[in-house]
Structure 1
Amino acid sequence: MLDIFKERLHQKYRTLDFPRKAPGLSPRYMGRPEIAAGDCGSCRACLDVCPTGALRKLSPGETGGIALDMGRCLFCGACARACTAARGEGLIRFTKDYRVATFAREDLIVTAQPRPLHTPRACNGLFSRSLKLREISAAGCNACEADTNVLGTLVYDLGKFGISFVASPRHADGILVTGPVSRNMREAVLATWAAVPEPRIAIAVGSCAISGGLFAGSGECCGGLPPLCDVQLFVPGCPPSPWSILDGLLRLKSEKDVL
């Protein structure tokens, strides 16, 4: 027993005081991308290296040279490196901002021209005190699943925010889906969604769940969750940081920015 108390004193308090204190991130972490205004001309360096086609050239009438879709982006940084190599000064850079979650699909499109973002919808304060979710792994690789499950550990302590995962959709306020939703999982996702009592919410975590990711266009998957139901929260990444998921859940739950 004394050894237990001794170890507890040695370990100290491990739960981060989030959101009042910002998390520490790895120097290699790639967060919300930023795009500078500029004319790309005939250069296609960034488009050619993107494995998911997350980039597109803007028309001459649009501000900036390119647009980046975070819903398809893997946050690998290949586009930023290729742009810098081709131009000497890149138009694309990935910041350390982990707050990438949005409440509308179109808000995941990043350009050089900032615009107002959508606010949470469909909650109306109903889940401000408690939010119960049924997690569905719809043919994911287990990366997004792992970064979601880790929220239950003492560092993140998801339960202190009144958020928890439940075993039955009938006990849930919504679903949280990871993976591209394979054909074999389509009916399971729809059945689970139908079993959640209204009002309900749907959350897509990871590029696969948002757009199909690397599997977009494959006949074996449905292209993520949006084709199947109305999604209220999009958390991009491959996989997204646990802090990105937690930030999105808290902003959805409280209907305001937490930082």
Structure 2
Amino acid sequence: MWKILRQIARAGIPSEPAPFATEAGEDGAIVRIREELLDILGQALAIRQVDAGSCNACEMEINALTNPYYNLEGLGIKFVASPRHADMLLVTGPVTRNMETALRRTWEATPEPRLVVALGDCACNGGIFGQSYASCGAVANVVPVDVTVPGCPPPPLEIMRGILAAVRRRR
């Protein structure tokens, strides 16, 4: 045990400090989006994420939004488990026939004024799956969509921009 403690004392803190956000580049865009979201919302935004049949790549990017770099919860935006508590639905993947009824019920359970954001190429236009015997295709074929965020998968910054566009639309 002493050997490990000596090694820790010699090595010190191997991590580097967190980067500071600047007004240039991607960091600046994140800062501007954060400021505008806080100005518009003034309160919390609850999002219900629905996987309608995706490959989970979009979910990984959504998960990245909750890390300290993007800090979505610091903006007052949180993910909720029930559509009855949600202001917005964030839908990923092409809507499979098995998920068609579940997505429609989730949309109906979300209180007005509800927003729907289709996230990723599959949710926007069916992606490589299209419309077939097993897939309804795009989310817009099942429920009305307010904003689409294309990409396979879209990066977290684009997801934040899509959420901001939806919130602007509601305002």
Partner of 2:136: 222
Matches within 5 A, 1:50-61: none
Matched positions, count: 148
The alignment partner of 1:202 has SS state of strand
Q: Is the 8 A contact 1:132 1:174 kept in 2?
A: yes
1:168 aligns with 2:82: yes
Distance across 2 between alignment mates of 1:143 and 1:135 = 14
> Alpha carbons of 1:128 and 1:225: their partners in 2 closer, same or farther (altered >3 Å)?
farther
SS of residue paired to 2:122: helix
1:13 corresponds to which of 8, 15, 18:
18
Distance 2:16 2:105 in 1: 44
Q: Which moved more, 1:148-157 or 1:246-255?
A: 246-255
Partner of residue 36, structure 2? none
What residue is the counterpart of 1:50 in the other structure? none
Q: What's the counterpart of residue 23 of structure 1?
A: 26
Name 2:67's counterpart in structure 1.
153
Q: Which residue of 2 aligns with 1:197?
A: 111
% same residue: 41
What's the CA shift string for 1:60-94, capped at 9, x where partnerless?
A: xxxxxxxxxxxxxxxxxxxxxxxxxxxxxxxxxxx
CA distance 1:128–1:220, shift in 2 (3 Å) = farther
Report if aligned partners of 1:174, 1:193 keep a CA contact under 8 Å in 2.
Answer: no
Segments of structure 2 that go 5 or more residues without pairing to the other structure are 1-7, 28-38
Mapped to 2, the partners of 1:214 and 1:207 lie a distance apart of 8
Aligned partner of 1:244 among 141, 145, 158:
158
Shift of 1:228: 1.6
Query: Which of 155, 170, 180 is residue 94 of structure 2 equivalent to?
Result: 180
Normalised by the length of structure 2, the TM-score is 0.77
What SS does structure 1 have at the residue aligned with 2:133?
coil
Segments of structure 1 that go 5 or more residues without pairing to the other structure are: 25-124
Distance 1:166-1:218 versus aligned 2 partners, 3 A rule: same
The alignment partner of 1:199 has SS state of coil
What is the CA–CA distance in structure 2 between the aligned matches of 1:229 and 1:21, rounded to whole Å?
Answer: 38
Give, in whole Å, the separation in 2 of the partners of 1:173 and 1:204.
Answer: 14
Q: Which runs of 4+ in 1 moved over 6 A?
A: none
How far 1:10 sits from its partner (Å)? 4.1
Q: What is the TM-score of this pair, normalised by structure 1?
A: 0.52
Asked whether the 8 Å contact 1:233–1:248 carries over to 2, the reply is: yes
Identify the residue that residue 129 of structure 1 maps to in structure 2. 43
Whether the 8 Å CA contact 1:128–1:254 is kept in 2: the answer is no
